[in-house]
Structure 1
Amino acid sequence: MNVEVTQTTTPETQDDWWTPPMPPTDLIFDDGEPLESNRHRIAMNVLIRSLQQAWADRQDYFTGGNMFIYYSSAQARNRDFRGPDFFVVLDVDGTQTRQGWVVWEENGRYPDTIVELMSPSTANIDKNDKKHLYERTFRTRDYFVYDPFNPNTLQGWSLDAAHHYQPLEPNEQGRLWSQTLGFWLGTWEGTIDRETAPWLRFYDTQGNLVFLPEEAAQQRAEQEAQRAEQEAQRAEQEAQRAEQEAQRAEHEAQRAERLAARLRELGENPDSL
């Protein structure tokens, strides 16, 4: 009996006929919209620059502000821009140049800490919609909000073990602890860039203000001036002591000369004494 053999072909694998969509490449990193006010701009830079000063010897983090964060292709296609006023990502190459933060180009890393600088027109979004996004999608460990025009608006949340935000309790100074950064966040009244305001600042574990680069430079200059003044005072004291020693030596020489003269008057030989 003849048996007809039918040749079959091996089905194509998934890789042969399906390729996952590539992330969009036409990303926008500037929508041309400025920050709410000049004070908001200064407040953002204060946080960025003071953290860079505190971690001047570290390269394992990135901090930015008013930069778009892209976290999904759908978000990018829909032009759903998300740009926290201040954020920090830990355990990344901080020397890399970035126009924005593109999660799929950063090995899936999201911000570890975010601060939104509120205004009356954004407060509801910052404390609700953005808070929900940072909690559920970003899983950002610490989230803070603050209105630079109102020192009583500082609030913060931290993720618990179930990945839900729990409100942070202020200490006696009204500051909130960021476990992620290892700093307190609190207000500081002063003048920065010619504007006096209650700025949001970092404080270390001992409660010391984390300086901006120019503040740190001023402190070093003051310390150097103090050391120079102390050295000048020590040098002056040494000169005074030397002068006093010279005066004592001169007085001793004068007394010895008077004694020798007296002995000569008495007919004694001073060399035999």
Structure 2
Amino acid sequence: MITETSPKTELLTEVAPEWEPPMPPTDLIFDDGELLESKRHRMAMNVLIDSLYQHWSGRCDFFAGGNMFIYYSSTQARNRDDKGPDFFVVLDVDGKTDRQGWVVWEEEGRYPDMIVELTSPSTASVDIGKKKDIYEQTFRTPYYFIFNPFDGKSLEGWSLENNRYQKLQPDDRGWLWCKKLELWLGTWEGTIQQESAVWLRFYDEQGNLVLLPGEVAEQERQRAEQERQRAEQERQRAEQERQRAEQERQRAESLAAKLKELGIEPDSV
């Protein structure tokens, strides 16, 4: 028996095109014109960025940024949700690549290895709530810290253990160890660009302050000045020795002249 194939049946037998996932957004923005909460917050961010690049000046296998967008999903990119942390570090990436922001799908799925939020009373609930959850559950960032630049005793931190953040315990100095960076995070009281405050700073494993480029330059200037002073002291000592030798020579010549006047040969004295 011959059966006729209906047009509907023919449509069903056609090969469906292969499904492709939607492409990530390409209309990303990297500057919304919004500034950090205060000048102190901006300076605190730059202190962390500049000192880390100074400390790792011989390396190009990391990226450190701040107050810049991190894009990690199409939904988040479309909604402009969670613009990004105040400071973050990604290890084992090409640090020479020019980046306006951090786009996870363009970075082989890499997320930050360490994040710092410079918090304030108006952002604290988000920093320890929504943002902390994102960094823990989506980013899987191994180390997360918060610090209020106007409160020198506000440093807190967490490390990711078994996919959950566990609070880090400070040492006797109040510092927190970041194993990923092999650096301490602690406070330092002093003046930076005419701003006196308690700053969040890096310290190396031996407890030495990680210096800013300007501090390194000042240290080099002081070292050069000390070397100049030592060289000047050596020059003065050499001049004094030369003068003493000259005085001894003159005394010897004067004595020889007097002995000659007396008819005494110097060798017979």
TM-score, normalised via structure 1 length = 0.88
2:124 corresponds in structure 1 to 123
1:203 corresponds in structure 2 to 203
Deviations 1:3-62 (A, max 9, x none): xxxxxxx985x8x52112111101121222221111111111111111111111111111
C-alpha displacement of 1:77: 2.1
C-alpha displacement of 1:257: 3.0
Give 2:200's aligned amino acid.
L
How far apart in 2 are the matches of 1:91 and 1:200? 24
- SS of corresponding position for 1:249: helix
C-alpha displacement of 1:89: 0.6
- SS of corresponding position for 1:53: helix
Deviations 1:180-210 (A, max 9, x none): 1121111111222222211111112222221
How far apart in 2 are the matches of 1:272 and 1:208? 69
How far apart in 1 are the matches of 2:135 and 2:212? 28
1:6 corresponds in structure 2 to none
2:236 corresponds in structure 1 to 236
C-alpha displacement of 1:272: 8.4
Give the number of aligned pairs: 257
1:150 corresponds in structure 2 to 151
Q: Is the 8 A contact 2:183 2:205 kept in 1?
A: yes
C-alpha displacement of 1:167: 1.4
C-alpha displacement of 1:105: 0.2
Q: Percent of pairs identical after alignment? A: 58
Q: Assess, with a 3 A threshold, how the Cα gap between structure 1 residues 261 and 144 changes in structure 2: closer, same or farther.
A: same
- SS of corresponding position for 2:219: helix
1:7 corresponds in structure 2 to none
- SS of corresponding position for 2:154: strand
Q: Which runs of 4+ in 1 moved over 4 A?
A: 269-273
- SS of corresponding position for 2:32: coil
Q: Answer yes or no: is 1:258 the counterpart of 2:258.
A: yes
Q: Assess, with a 3 A threshold, how the Cα gap between structure 1 residues 43 and 270 changes in structure 2: closer, same or farther.
A: closer
Q: Which runs of no fewer than 5 residues in structure 1 stay unpaired?
A: 1-9
Q: Answer yes or no: is 1:190 the counterpart of 2:211.
A: no
Q: Is the 8 A contact 2:85 2:117 kept in 1?
A: yes
Q: Which runs of no fewer than 5 residues in structure 2 stay unpaired?
A: 1-12
Deviations 1:117-152 (A, max 9, x none): 000011111112211211111111111000001111
Q: Is the 8 A contact 2:67 2:84 kept in 1?
A: yes
1:92 corresponds in structure 2 to 93
